[in-house]
Structures are given as structure tokens and as C-alpha cells.
């Protein structure tokens, strides 16, 4: 049986406990991943191991979502806590992280109700990604992969005077009748960071988030570069390292189906043979 080991400086250790609930009836503990690359060991000069700090807060003093709790902790308890957030409405994908009990799920902190998690809540960055600081993952690599698929309209025909139109049916293919079509992807990368194939082959496998975006352009009736787009994806790793594990679809906070999009791309590959 294979044995896997984490690097010596990557395993979180128990950190501080800060209790500001003052015995409140609705007290809740949040175990939050903390890592600061500038906090270095005096002897080795290397960044210290990450730690899990515990914050006990009164839920009556914050809103109902996990992002509200993080905001309360940062504003009222510990201003050194670092995380991303923007729209607060599940639109931008900035606050994606792993949230839950000891077995968390990749999701958006702004749309994750605190009451969904019974007992203590553990919050860590998106898994299997370099960490910039605390709950902030380094997204440079996934955005470089996003650039590879050329996510913009490509057409050689003369542009119309106003805009390139499409039928309601073609628009629905992109957006979905229920708003859960491929165009609904907000690039939160919850799906890619939940995919074991992406964990092990992330340098060459594009992952479900990028492939869903590629599918979005492949089915856009206004785009005229389907052949070139399929050529770019026709690679043993970029597309075919998907093994239909379905973690991507199960964890998507927008209810999208990246696995289906990837399967449709594979069908396009077969059809053009």
C-alpha cells in the first residue's frame, strides 16, 4: 500500500484560542487555517508551519453566513486574518474556501449558512493549491490555464453594425433554462480543487473549471473557431485526464455540472473523427 507524507513544514499545528463569546447561548467555535510566509523560524529562516487558530464568537453579533463570521473575526477580534471576498452574493467567486466539520467541502463563504454545520466549523484554503497567506490561495497557475483556452469570442466573418445575435434556444444552451448552464461558471475553482485528477496532474490537466469554460465557447453559436478550440484540447492530459469522479459536480456552489460539460467535449472529439 502506498504511503503519502506531507512536507515537514506543511502540516498545521494547534494555534491560539480566542474566546470572545463571553458565555453567550449561541457561541460557536471556528477553527481557521493561518499561514504567514513572513513569519519565519529564527533558526532555519524558513516560514513557520501553518496553524489552526480557534475563535469562539457570539453568533448574535454577526450575520448568518460563514463570510459574516469571518468579517466579524477580522473586524472585531483579529485584524491579521486574511481572506478574499468581494460581492458577498455568490457572483464573483472570490471567497471560495473549504468549509465544514473535519471533512469540509469546497464552497463559497458568502452563501454557506453557519447553521448548515453542526458543531465547530473548520475553515481552510482551497486544497492542493499554494497558499499566499491564511485563506488566500495562489491562483496564478489556474488563470494561466484559463488564458490557454482563449476565453473570448473568435469570429472571422464581418462584424454586424450592432452586435452578433443568437436565438433564444442558443442562448439557453449557454445559460441553461434554470440558470445553470456553462455560462454560469464564476471561476471560483471549487471544482478543480476538489478533483483528484487535478491534484496529481494539475500542471498538464486543465481541470473541470477551465474545461467547463472551454465548453462554454465551443457551444456558443456566435463563435467560429470550434475546430481550433478542439485542436487545443485534443491532448492526452489537457482533456483526457478526467476520469468522471464527479467531485466537481458535487461541490459546485452554483449547482453546475462540469463533468457533463467535459463529457460533451469528448463527444465532440469523437464526432469530428
Structure confidence by residue, pLDDT tens digits, 18-33: 999 999 999 999 999 9
- Residues of the chain above pLDDT 90, percent: 87
Same CATH topology for 13-137 and 140-271? no
CA distance linking residue 120 with residue 114, whole number of Å: 10
pLDDT at residue 1 tops 70: no
pLDDT at residue 177 tops 90: no
Confidence class for position 2, pLDDT limits 50, 70, 90 = low
Higher pLDDT, 80 or 45: 80
Average pLDDT, stretch 234-247? 96
CA distance linking residue 223 with residue 228, whole number of Å: 11
Confidence class for position 45, pLDDT limits 50, 70, 90 = confident
pLDDT at residue 6 tops 80: no
Mean pLDDT, the chain, as a whole number? 94
pLDDT at residue 67 tops 80: yes
Confidence class for position 7, pLDDT limits 50, 70, 90 = low
Higher pLDDT, 159 or 94: 94
Q: Where are the beta strands (DSSP E) in 89-246?
A: 96-100, 105-108, 121-124, 131-133, 136-137
CA distance linking residue 118 with residue 110, whole number of Å: 18
Higher pLDDT, 171 or 5: 171
- State in words which class domain 140-271 has: mainly alpha
What CATH superfamily is the domain 13-137? Beta-grasp domain (3.10.20.30)
Predicted confidence at residue 125, as pLDDT, reads 97
Q: 7-11, 39-43, 230-234: which range is least confident on average?
A: 7-11
pLDDT at residue 244 tops 90: yes
Is the model's pTM score more than 0.85? yes
> What is the DSSP track for the chain?
-------TTTS-EEEEEEE-STT-TTEEEEEEEE--TT-B-TTT-SBPPPEEEEEEEEGGGS-SBHHHHHHHIIIII-TT-----S-SSSSS-TTEEEEESSS-EEEETTT-BGGGS-S-EEEEPPTTS-EEETTEE--HHHHHHHHHT--S----SPPPSS-----HHHHHHHH-TTS-SGGG-----TTGGG-HHHHHHTTT--HHHHHHHHHHHHT-TT---HHHHHHHH-STTTTTT-----HHHHH-TT---HHHHHHHHHHHHHHT-
Predicted confidence at residue 103, as pLDDT, reads 81
Structural domain boundaries in the chain: 13-137, 140-271
Q: Is 187 left (phi over 0), alpha (psi -120 to 50) or beta?
A: left
Average pLDDT, stretch 154-177? 93
pLDDT at residue 261 tops 70: yes
Amino acid at each position: 500500500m502506498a504511503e503519502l507524507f506531507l512536507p515537514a513544514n506543511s502540516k498545521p499545528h494547534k494555534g491560539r484560542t480566542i474566546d470572545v463569546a463571553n458565555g453567550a447561548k449561541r457561541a460557536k467555535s471556528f477553527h481557521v487555517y493561518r499561514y504567514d510566509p513572513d513569519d519565519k523560524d529564527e533558526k532555519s529562516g524558513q516560514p513557520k508551519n501553518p496553524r489552526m487558530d480557534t475563535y469562539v464568537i457570539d453568533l448574535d453579533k454577526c450575520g448568518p453566513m460563514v463570510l459574516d463570521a469571518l468579517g466579524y473575526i477580522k473586524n472585531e477580534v483579529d485584524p491579521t486574518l486574511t481572506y478574499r471576498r468581494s460581492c458577498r452574493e455568490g457572483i464573483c467567486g472570490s471567497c471560495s474556501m473549504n468549509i465544514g466539520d473535519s471533512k469540509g467541502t469546497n464552497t463559497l463563504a458568502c452563501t454557506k449558512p453557519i447553521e448548515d454545520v453542526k458543531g465547530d466549523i473548520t475553515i481552510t484554503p482551497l486544497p492542493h493549491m499554494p497558499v499566499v497567506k491564511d485563506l488566500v490561495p495562489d491562483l496564478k497557475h489556474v488563470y494561466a490555464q484559463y488564458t490557454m483556452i482563449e476565453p473570448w469570442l473568435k469570429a472571422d466573418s464581418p462584424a454586424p453594425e450592432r452586435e452578433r445575435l443568437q436565438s433564444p434556444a442558443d442562448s439557453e444552451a449557454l445559460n441553461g433554462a434554470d440558470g445553470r448552464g456553462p455560462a454560469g461558471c464564476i471561476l471560483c475553482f471549487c471544482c478543480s480543487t476538489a478533483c483528484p485528477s487535478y491534484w496529481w496532474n494539475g500542471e498538464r490537466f486543465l481541470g473541470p473549471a477551465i474545461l467547463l469554460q472551454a465548453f462554454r465557447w465551443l457551444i456558443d453559436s456566435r463563435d467560429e473557431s470550434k475546430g481550433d478550440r478542439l485542436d487545443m484540447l485534443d491532448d492526452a492530459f489537457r482533456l483526457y485526464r478526467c476520469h468522471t469522479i464527479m467531485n466537481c459536480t458535487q461541490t459546485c456552489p452554483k449547482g453546475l455540472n462540469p463533468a457533463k460539460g467535459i463529457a460533451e467535449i469528448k463527444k465532440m472529439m469523437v464526432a469530428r473523427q
